[in-house]
Amino acid sequence: MIGQSEGIIQIFEIIDQVSTTDISVLIIGESGTGKELVVKAIHNNSTRKAKPLIIVNCGAIPEGIIESELFGHEKGAFTGAVGPRKGYFEMADGGTIFLDEIGEMPLNAQVKILRILEGREFTRVGGGMPHRVDVRVIAATNRELESEVQRGTFRQDLFFRLRAVNIHVPPLRKRKEDIMLLAEYFAYEFCHANQIDFKGFDSSARDVLVNYSWPGNIRELKNLIESIIVLEKGDLIDEATLSKYLKYDTHEQRLLPIALHKSPDEAEREFLYRILIDLKNEIAGLRELIVNRLFPPKRLKPWENDETITYIHEEDEIPYDNQYDVKNPLTSLQDMERELIENTLHRFNGNKRKAAKSLKISERTLYRKIKEYDLPY
């Protein structure tokens, strides 16, 4: 895990303390903060690491089949049940099961989860014989479960049973010390994997990245870095470049008061510099508008990609020097688009509506891309 902020260091300490036990853990944090990575760190440092880690997105499973998916079913339990089938809990026997977005789980399934936590047994759908499993349960949510309990949409007894240990994953905007560590790591990994020469970030870009609010958290940062490297062809990233991709008012930020610790001459130069950058951006935007009207560009849009985020410890060396030595040719944008679409469909178990929403494209476009790239979905 990458991080030197106080919140991340505390998470490191909690992971070390809980990994060697079987205590239930509830991870709380906004979407995109890296909750799944915390789960993997706990599992990989536990005595169960040789057994499966089963990851279940409770919000992605339709209510009508969630019990069958979690606990399995017997032959004839419903139309189409031609034979017995193991559920996720049986698959995770001896290991760990991660129930992501558990706040979206229906109440009838919550009862069975509580039974497993208390007695380590369950019954398959359509069956009468109890099955025993040895599974560690880790849950995560981006909701306020206490409020869900008050509204009656989440069981109070399950809430108390899950929160034996709470891990709060802070949003990226509260981890300013980690932003450039993450940005440089994502840039290195992406460029290394795709053979791209990247010239890095200048000081103005670093200031923007550190002070941006990051509503999409680490996932948004990762997607931005990958998109901007591809679309800007590895050029040096500065503030003007970032302003084309980040959804915030750079003009307003530039006109904020100059820091008082600067001398009058330094303050005046900085103020003039901000005005010149603003003018440059406006001219660039006008030029792009004119060019786009005359020659409509065919470009990939910035995308949202993998939920799984890889970190390394702060003390681990990141081999990043703002310049990548690349000899092989650049992977085509079509290959990147195909891989992105295929990975997103796999992540949502072939659910095209959710995949299209994640990719920020229409379902019609997604179907066309699936046919164009001959994807098995």
CA atoms 201, 204, 208, 210: torsion sign: positive
Residues of the chain with CATH 1.10.8.60: 173-294
Give pLDDT, residue 374. Answer: 85
Residues 171-188: pLDDT tens digits? 999 999 999 999 999 999
CATH number corresponding to 6-170: 3.40.50.300
The least confident of 8-12, 162-166, 297-301, 334-338 is 297-301
Alpha helices in 127-247 (DSSP H): 145-151, 156-162, 176-194, 203-211, 217-231, 239-242
Class of domain 173-294: mainly alpha
Q: What percent of the chain has pLDDT over 90?
A: 47
Residue 190 Cα distances to 193, 222, 241, angstroms: 5, 9, 19
Concatenate the DSSP letters of all residues of 213-266 into one string: --TTHHHHHHHHHHHHHHHTTTPPB-HHHHTTTS-S-HHHHHTSPPPTTS-HHH
How many residues are recorded in the chain? Answer: 377
At 11 the three-state DSSP class reads helix
Give pLDDT, residue 268. Answer: 59
CATH number corresponding to 333-372: 1.10.10
Residues of the chain with CATH 3.40.50.300: 6-170
Residues of the chain with CATH 1.10.10: 333-372
What's the rounded Cα separation, in Å, for the pair 137 and 42? 11
Residues 110-166: pLDDT tens digits? 998 998 998 888 888 888 788 899 999 999 999 899 999 999 999 999 999 998 899
- pLDDT-derived band at 279 (thresholds 50, 70, 90) equals low
Do 185 and 2 contact (CB within 8 A), yes or no? yes
Query: pTM, whole model, 2 decimals?
Result: 0.63
- pLDDT-derived band at 88 (thresholds 50, 70, 90) equals very high
Give pLDDT, residue 84. Answer: 83
Contacts of 133 (CB under 8 A, 6+ apart): 89, 90, 92, 93, 116, 120, 121, 122
Give pLDDT, residue 251. Answer: 44
Give pLDDT, residue 288. Answer: 59
Give pLDDT, residue 254. Answer: 45
- pLDDT-derived band at 64 (thresholds 50, 70, 90) equals confident
Average pLDDT, integer, range 342-367:
84
Q: Contacts for 305-308 with beta carbons within 8 Å, 24 or more apart?
A: 305/219, 305/222, 305/223, 305/226, 305/340, 305/343, 305/344, 306/222, 306/343, 306/347, 307/32, 307/36, 307/219, 307/347, 308/36, 308/37
Instruction: With a cut of 80, say whether residue 332 has pLDDT above it.
Output: no
- pLDDT-derived band at 25 (thresholds 50, 70, 90) equals very high
